[in-house]
Chain A
Amino acid sequence: MTKHLKYTPWVLMAPFLALFLLTFILPILAAVGSSFTKVRREGLFGEEGIVSEFAWFENYAQALADGGFIASIGRMVLFGLVQVPVMMLLATVLAILLESASARWPGFFRAAYFLPYGIPGVIATILWSFLYVPGLSPIIDAAAVVGIELNFLGPSTVLWSIANIVTWTYTGYNMMIIIAQLKSIPGELYEAARVDGASGWQVAWKIQLPLIRPALVLTTVFSIIGTMQLFAEPQVLSTSSTAIDSQYTPNLSAYTTAFAYNAYNAAAAQAVLIALAAFILSFAFLRLTNRKSV
């Protein structure tokens, strides 16, 4: 290898690596560092300055002892157990229907389902909140005519109202990934199935589902990570629903701890715990799916 070739890859990678270092590695190290640090004020009123000292696991113990924070993680696990399977099922069914020869105008439907993905979570939430708020919502009005009283923003329903917004936003995106994988299935397989007299159901179960498994696993992992990060939807909806408190999701909790209480070290510990929870749940899911295939 010539000397010339030795430096080229580093020149090519330099901009990416510099930015990656600045916006990924340094903040992660800083977060881990400050999650193990506590700030102590010297003097009676802190007038003699502040000192940082090593706190061991004090911040983590504090986060784990915080009932509101733990409850928010539990809430997201419940949310994920219901919303992710519903969304993946819907995305898979839509992808298979759109790719089947029975579908009319597949281009139109694909665009219609994919459209919400381009609408930011905040704007999607503002949109849906209009359909959730009594007085504005034509859905609530229509249900009242039939004698059903709907409350989308109550303590027991608001979590599922958020789940609806998330499903609305991301189903089309997941569907597109599944469609991409469906398109890569060789035509000969369908040909062979037809020769063997397989029905549409059998084609879906025996050929399409097993072959789109990688896409399903991947989109599910990304959905799990996304669930743990839920922030914009509950934060925006909290202005119209009193059932959402400042610790409704783990991220909302970390945000409140950092900016409302100015407790950056405790917030750093919460941020690390959120990342860990996302990792653990993703890996647990990957292990589960790998075992099934053996």
Chain B
Amino acid sequence: MKNTLMVAFATLTLCACVPTYKLVKPGAVPVGDGSLSVTPRIEWNEVPGIQRQVWEDEWTQNGPLLETIGFVSGLPDGKSLIKHRKKDDAQVAVFRADMTPNDLVSMVESAYRVAGVTVFAVDSVSPAPFLGGTGLKMNYRYSPGDGIGKRGTAVLRVVNGRLYLMKLEGVSSHYYEASQPEFEHLVASATLKK
């Protein structure tokens, strides 16, 4: 009996520690630290993230290996898209509020390269409406180690010195394109907390 209780306790403890997916229902919903809101038309799953920073969120429909939509709700000047140890050899470029479009694009690219991606190509960079003003939209492709190519779209804008970013990435065959209309809708629906 004692052993059974211990196993039950261990199981409960383990379950409590394991992050789980949460359902995101259609309708206005805050993301990241709550300063950014979007309005999904369909249900999504919020991906659990142990090391995620406070302004980050990530959603998926078919699993993160196939497609994700990522949010950054106001990265402050001096912070990085990925949390690093100070002594890591390779680090994502730190965000600065006065970054040029060229700086922003290479900062996003470096987030992939630092994670080990070597084959990364930017297909296009163009101005795009985002959060009531003109932001920047970049389309890109990259190759993970398994050879299954992925495509991505990131929309970025610096507002009051903070970086707001929404990003779709998915397997090139089917998943990226299938999620594109909903992603475009989410970008168009995005608003900042007043």
* Same assembly: no
Write the residues of chain A forming the contact surface with B, with a CB cutoff of 8 angstroms.
Answer: none
